[in-house]
Amino acid sequence: MVTMIDPAAMQFVAQRPVGTLATGTGTSGGSATPSLVPICYCWDGQDLWVPLDTKPKRVSDPRHLRRVRNILAEPSVQVCVQDYLRDAWTELAYVIVHGQARLVEPGAPGHADAVALLRAKYRQYHTMPIESRPAIAIRPERTTSWGAIARRSDRPALLESTINGRRSVRRFTQAPVPAEMLRQIVETARWAPSPHGRQPWRFFVTTRAETRAHLAAAMGDVWQSTLAQDGESAEIVAQRLEISRTRIRTAPAIIIPCLYLEDLDQYPDVERQAAETTMAVQSLGAAIQNMLLTAYHLGLDMGWMCAPLFCQSIVQHALDLPATWLPQALLPLGYAALDPKRRERRPLDDLTRWDLTN
């Protein structure tokens, strides 16, 4: 048993589609008999949000629901999320989130972001007017967990839910990214393959709004001149520039992956040295992919912007990076505000030349 707010437990909760909400503890006027109800929910890094949607209910006003009346009388609640539909008992797991619940009306802080997250998680909410209805927000105080919550040994599930599910996101809610999740994401980059095991990459991570704004402003002049070279009108250039700046300013966190060539093997000929650098670039791509997949696996989303490639010295100066850190990309990170459209992938046989024995 674990009795704390365990990041692995909350990761487990964030990835599951449904849970069970228990309200009414018999104290402070609450019901003497707990009320249990299945729920849809989302996790924004601080609160679990439970919509009071328009699925058929016995009462028309969601404020009259028993779970709501119980919460208003006694805010202590529990949410149970489980994974028990497996033949192998070593893969069974559950998490119970113990927390304080509150009713959040439309227009109140966090409500609109929660609606966006719920719609990103459940397509059924795309056309359901949950933005005009109150929601329940649950602030976790501790978690109780059991079983295989931290072991991701189900490879088919990893393939389907993480690799095939990952998407590039450009708009985020303002919910902060917990520091522990940031560490988990960057930690996985360390395990990417690299030439001679030298790990030729470094990472700058920030959640500070002033740092993001300063970086966006510093890169703006270079972007503007680059876009102008494409023959676009001044209006289009200004529009595209503002979109890029907004992506950086509004992302709750950003990661700047940098190439670091100081530890690589040195060769007397240009060709081999160029190949050594290419290997380092390839391995940096692998490190970035690890972070992209880990972020999605944790219930977060990430984008991949290559703008720092075109203004490395500007980024170095804005972030006070060493000259040996060569910025290669900018990864905005957070909780998706919108469910982006996925680009179609070309068929496998269009991309592959097979030479099999049978």
CB atoms within 10 A of CB 247: 21
Do residues 11 and 300 make contact, with C-beta atoms less than 8 angstroms apart?
no
237 compared with 277, residue with greater pLDDT: 277
- The CATH number of 179-334, from 3.40.109.10, 3.30.2350.10, 2.10.70.10, 3.20.20.140, is 3.40.109.10
pLDDT at position 52: 93
**pLDDT tens profile 171-211:** 888 888 888 889 989 999 999 999 999 999 999 999 999 99
**Alpha-carbon dihedral of residues 264, 269, 272, 273, nearest 10 degrees?**
40
pLDDT at position 167: 82
- Match 């692998």 to its residue by tokens: 286
Query: Does the structure show a pLDDT above 50 at 27?
Result: no
2-153 folds as Pnp Oxidase; Chain A (2.30.110)
Domain segments of the chain as ranges: 2-153, 179-334
In the chain, the amino acid numbered 268 is P
Query: Does the structure show a pLDDT above 90 at 79?
Result: yes
Average pLDDT, the chain: 86
**pLDDT tens profile 204-221:** 999 999 999 999 999 887
Q: Which of 23-32, 85-94, 104-113, 308-317 has the lowest mean pLDDT?
A: 23-32
Do residues 244 and 310 make contact, with C-beta atoms less than 8 angstroms apart?
no
**pLDDT tens profile 115-149:** 988 887 887 888 889 999 999 999 999 999 888 77
DSSP annotation string for 151-217? ----HHHHIIIIITT--B---B-SPPPPHHHHHHHHHHHTTS--GGG---EEEEEE--HHHHHHHHH
Share of the chain above pLDDT 70, in %: 90
For the whole prediction, is pTM greater than 0.85?
Answer: no
pLDDT at position 28: 45
